Amino acid sequence: MARPARKFAPRSGEAERVQAIFERFAAALPEPKGELEYRNDFTLLVAVVLSAQATDAGVNKATRALFEIADTPQKMLDLGEAGLIEKIKTIGLYRNKAKNVIALSKSLLRDHGGKVPQSREALEALPGVGRKTANVVLNIAFGEETIAVDTHVFRVSNRIPLAPGRTPAEVEAGLLRIVPKPFLRHAHHWLILHGRYTCKALAPACPRCVIQDFCRWEGKRLAPPLHSSPAKRGRGTARQRGGGGSGLSG
Ligand code: SF4
């Protein structure tokens, strides 16, 4: 039997804290963008399907050549499953993903006039498309205020915390409830980028985090004390930085 959802009792002043967190994100990066490369709604959908359990950088590497020759459902069918496999075989689970991309291309041509539908139900009915993929497409292609919960959003939402939950669905519902309306459109991009480059799983870069003063995670690492030696400070900072850069760091 499913356990009941964990209750999260917001503290007083919580709405102001959440507002302030998103104001900081917006000030640091007013127009956040996803990092998957695409040319149109169809290639966006394909890129998101291919990105499951793969990095955006790895997907982009493969899709640059793929989308040169197959940027519509018909061209994808013309390429065929074997041709598609050749193009995406560097991406994890490529055989299954190729099957899904060919099947969803057929479905788009048969049921939607070759266009990507602007409806959650229709998107989720496509092969290989789940709630997270539908949320990304609805947000980026159609400007809807959806929040796709990936591993980064799930981690930072539980860690800061913003909207704690045991499952992506719980976190998504919580975020939709608490994120102030003006920030809903970009919320998932800010949270993904924050998790990918600053609030990383193993080495969060707390000293350069723009929301450090609003973070309530017990494990957050504060800046090294001023009296520590420069050599020690340098080592600590390098470990915490851990590579990557983001417009969401201070
Ligand atoms: S202070 Fe550290 S743990 Fe908290 S949100 Fe920033 S990077 Fe993440």
Residue 19 alpha carbon to ligand 1 centre in Å: 17
* Domain residue extents for the chain: 41-142, 145-250
Q: What is each CA distance from 144 to 25, 37, 51, 56, 212, in whole angstroms?
A: 19, 19, 21, 22, 29
Q: Which of 199, 221, 222, 249 to mutate to test the pocket of ligand 1 (most atoms within 8 A of CB)?
A: 199
204 neighbors 195 (Cβ within 8 angstroms): no
Is 250 a residue whose pLDDT tops 50?
Answer: no
Is 155 a residue whose pLDDT tops 50?
Answer: yes
Ligand 1 atom with least separation from CA of 209: 6
**Architecture label for domain 145-250:** Orthogonal Bundle (1.10)
Give the per-residue pLDDT at 10: 60
The verdict on pTM exceeding 0.95 is no
150 is catalytic: yes
Q: Report d(CA 162, CA 170) in Å as an integer.
A: 12
How deeply is 64 buried, as exposed, middle or buried, from its count of CB atoms within 10 A (0-12, 13-18, 19+)? exposed
> 195 falls in which pLDDT band (50, 70, 90)?
very high
The domain defined by 41-142 folds into Endonuclease III; domain 1 (1.10.340)
Give the per-residue pLDDT at 238: 33
Q: Percentage of the chain with pLDDT > 90?
A: 82
Q: Which of 154, 159, 191 to mutate to test the pocket of ligand 1 (most atoms within 8 A of CB)?
A: 159
Kindly state the average pLDDT of the residues 75-97.
98
Is 58 a residue whose pLDDT tops 90?
Answer: yes
Which parts of 8-150 fold into alpha helices (H)? 14-28, 41-50, 56-69, 73-88, 94-111, 120-124, 131-142
Q: Which of 41, 89, 106, 132 is catalytic?
A: 132
pLDDT digits (tens, 9 = 90+) for 2-54: 444 455 556 679 999 999 999 999 999 999 999 999 999 999 999 999 999 99
Ligand 1 atom with least separation from CA of 210: 6
